[in-house]
Structure 1
Amino acid sequence: MKPRRIKIAVNPQSALPIYLHSNGDVVCGVYRYKPTKLRRCFRGIFDSIIGQIEYAEGTGEVDVSGFSEWDAMSIYDEFIGKTWESSLSAEKLEELAMQTSVVRILKQIRDPFWKAVYRRWSRERRHYGITDPRFPKENWEVFLDRGA
């Protein structure tokens, strides 16, 4: 069975994971970004990531938040220079290339998601008064459940 969501990152301020769902939604905490124009694009991103990575059958989610982008210098600094190995296996290079590909694909999601978070934060700041406990002081506070 194909996973239903991918953990793409963790918000550092709130320590909440950010998920890409199979229907194209991006979710963090109580905030759900439902892209209207980009939904088909986000579904395609989900399918392309699932097609590239290996995952355990039966799990509902895949974690790619620890993936990083690799280039020749970072591979040298991390593997060859640090441990003084003369070469890397083909499997390891294939894994690093896959991680780089996934990270580059996920960059397409970042800008629209954070723009939507900022728009939601601006809307809530206008709606609530400063003395209201639901008033979000920082933009990442839209992820938290501040009461209704």
Structure 2
Amino acid sequence: MKKIIMVLVPSLWLIACSSSDSWSYEFDGSSKNWQAVVNVVPNEQNGAEFIGKLKKLSNKKITYIHYEADVTYSSHSTGNIDNPNFGEADSYIELFHDIPNTEQYRKEFKNGVDEREIKDFFGNYPVFRITWKDEKGEHTETLNLKYVETR
């Protein structure tokens, strides 16, 4: 009996802990110059984190980036990056970490969200507006990110 309890209790604990954090979602969009991603992942304290990332797809040397990201209907992240370091090819730079902006939304994310709820929450967003400078001057693009189907 003692052996059964020693095996059963840790197993139940693992199942209980993993079930609340088993979801994650992704939105992405790209152009010939950029790939942008917003990952939506569980966060124990705030319900969720929205992590915005950007990958350079061209081989041009970028000297400056200004971004505006409308993550949800009421969440707007902006920033500037001088001489961004994209590291190795195929790597992203992180632009922002955001969390749900109301206690009600935090509670909903803590309870877990399904595919329909995440699509409703983000609506037509996120949208990234990127202005950058390279050797040929200044450029601007808007990337509309779409929901990536769960596999």
- Do the two structures share a fold, i.e. TM-score over 0.5? no
Q: TM-score, normalised by structure 2?
A: 0.33
Q: TM-score, normalised by structure 1?
A: 0.34
Q: Which has the higher strand share?
A: 2
Q: Which has the higher helix share?
A: 1
